[in-house]
Structure 1
Amino acid sequence: MMPNNSQDALEYFKNKIDICFADNSQFVVDRIESDAVLILTWTQYLEANRSNHFADNLIRSVRSEVIEAAGYLSIGLVRPALYALRLQIESMLAWVYFNDHKVEWLHTINTDHDFPMRAQNLKYLSTFSARYSARFKLLEEARTRKVKEPYALLCTHVHATCIPAMPSYADFGALVNSKSEISDCIDLVAAVSEYLSDVLSAWYADAWHDFPPVIKSRIEARLGQSDLKKFCV
């Protein structure tokens, strides 16, 4: 039954969330724990082995954004989960830049200005690593994700730049998405995880032999021996 007033609308919303959580929360957590393993492994590895330890709030932010997406999806809220996934990309790329730029980091946190955007950070990677672009291309061509560039798709939803991405809700209950819609969003969790892993792998490839086993095994499974040799050169 559709709600007749605001109190009924809120109760209807709560009931839909409760049902969604009971039906889907374990499914969501299990899938995200598996599908986000690459980026979660990277955050642990980077903080322990590559960090200069002044911008690690951004690494912790990336982990928090995985938790955030899982929490939202557990109660069927796909749209805010998409925001968390987009921020995950921005935070991880910003950490890579700031980890090498302490002065800029201190300026940004003290003034709240000049936070580098994603495009700027990607340009930094391709400019200051002679092999980054070629290595990333090898991984991109052997991707398992359906979405080549997940950030672009996430931006479409965040900015509602096409009709299917524009919000259209008749009531609070419509905010709670179906299991199939939740599953589609979890596919994006996996896509973002692989995309960021590819960026980080291409940037840190000179330390290939030091990579965590799960990162190496996924790359080895995607690249043939010939391309793996090119990647590691």
Structure 2
Amino acid sequence: MEATVTQQQYEAFAETVSGQVSTNAPLADECKRHMTLSLTWAALHLEDSDNRHCDLLLKGAYGTAVEAVSLLAIGLVRPAILSLRAHYELSLQFLYYKDHPVEWRGVKSFRNQPNLPGVNKKYLKDFYPEFENRFKTLTSHKSRRNEDCYVILSGVAHGTALHSITSATVPEELVEDIDTVGSAVEVFHDTAENINDINISCFQGNWISLPEAIKTDLIYRFKDKQPAVELDL
């Protein structure tokens, strides 16, 4: 393929992206609102000086959230979900490595591979006594459709979610239609809520010390019950 043709294809891609932004922006904004839950936790953890040894993970969690929403705004759904998966992984890695500075040094020096979510959740379950009961209670009051969003995120990443495999032959065809973009909103919601619930389940403070955004969400989800009592906070 000649260079001039390739340039034309990229220009067509840029034009298509530009034309889609105004249509996709409301959906991207909705995803951004959903991400408030997980990003509130990242901000809270960044305030703790004890976490500075692995604050790269928190900054990465924020960056991948920005990346995911931005990619969705221009209609690149599959890359957006891949960034959302990275957001989930980094958020859970932090909860492990904040307690393991030595192991984190091994990851930073590329001697060790970072843990996958399953390992991190097992650690939280084993070493935070309140984790299992709290997470079970939160799951019984979930607003997300999928109990474990990581299955969906990994399906897209590994190509087992067959409907997400791209058949694009030119860059312009990577830009998805509005219906496909809209289908990703639920995945953003489910991912943020799942990260939120994992953080609440191992939270060492009390109800008063929870951020307002987290308390507001819990009050809505628990309806006529008192989340502070139900979660023993």
Preserved contact between residue 57 and residue 93 of structure 2 (Cα < 8 Å): yes
CA drift at 1:145: 1.2
1:9 counterpart residue number: 9
Q: Distance in 2 between matches of 1:135 and 1:88?
A: 23
What amino acid is aligned across from residue 64 of structure 2 in structure 1? Answer: E
CA drift at 1:50: 7.4
Give aligned pairs, total: 229
Q: Distance in 2 between matches of 1:50 and 1:145?
A: 32
Per the normalisation by structure 1, the TM-score is 0.90
Preserved contact between residue 142 and residue 221 of structure 2 (Cα < 8 Å): yes
Preserved contact between residue 20 and residue 74 of structure 2 (Cα < 8 Å): yes
Q: Distance in 2 between matches of 1:106 and 1:11?
A: 44
1:138 counterpart residue number: 137
What amino acid is aligned across from residue 138 of structure 1 in structure 2? Answer: T
Q: Distance in 1 between matches of 2:23 and 2:33?
A: 19
1:213 counterpart residue number: 212
2:225 counterpart residue number: 225
Q: 1:189 to 1:176 in 2, by over 3 A?
A: same
CA drift at 1:163: 2.5
2:33 counterpart residue number: 34
**Secondary structure at 1:113 match in 2:** coil
Q: Distance in 2 between matches of 1:17 and 1:170?
A: 16
Preserved contact between residue 205 and residue 232 of structure 1 (Cα < 8 Å): no
CA drift at 1:12: 2.3
CA drift at 1:22: 3.6
**Secondary structure at 1:190 match in 2:** helix
Preserved contact between residue 89 and residue 117 of structure 2 (Cα < 8 Å): yes
CA drift at 1:7: 4.1
CA drift at 1:140: 1.0
What amino acid is aligned across from residue 215 of structure 1 in structure 2? Answer: I
1:192 counterpart residue number: 191
What amino acid is aligned across from residue 87 of structure 1 in structure 2? Answer: A
Q: CA RMSD in A?
A: 2.1
2:83 counterpart residue number: 84
**Secondary structure at 1:209 match in 2:** coil
CA drift at 1:24: 2.5
What amino acid is aligned across from residue 23 of structure 1 in structure 2? Answer: T
Percent identity over the alignment?
A: 25
What pairs with 1:71-220 in structure 2 (closer than 5 Å)? Answer: 71-204=70-203, 206-220=205-219
Instruction: Map Cα deviations across residues 27-78 of structure 1 (whole Å, 9 max, x no partner).
Output: 2442233111111111111111474311001001111011001211111100
What amino acid is aligned across from residue 182 of structure 1 in structure 2? Answer: V
**Secondary structure at 2:208 match in 1:** helix
Q: Distance in 1 between matches of 2:226 and 2:18?
A: 51
What amino acid is aligned across from residue 208 of structure 1 in structure 2? Answer: W
Preserved contact between residue 138 and residue 227 of structure 1 (Cα < 8 Å): no
Q: Distance in 2 between matches of 1:98 and 1:148?
A: 24
Instruction: Map Cα deviations across residues 177-216 of structure 1 (whole Å, 9 max, x no partner).
Output: 1122112212211211111000000110543321001101
Instruction: Map Cα deviations across residues 98-117 of structure 1 (whole Å, 9 max, x no partner).
Output: 11111111121123423111
Preserved contact between residue 78 and residue 185 of structure 1 (Cα < 8 Å): yes
Preserved contact between residue 152 and residue 161 of structure 2 (Cα < 8 Å): no
What amino acid is aligned across from residue 219 of structure 1 in structure 2? Answer: L
1:19 counterpart residue number: 19
What amino acid is aligned across from residue 11 of structure 1 in structure 2? Answer: E
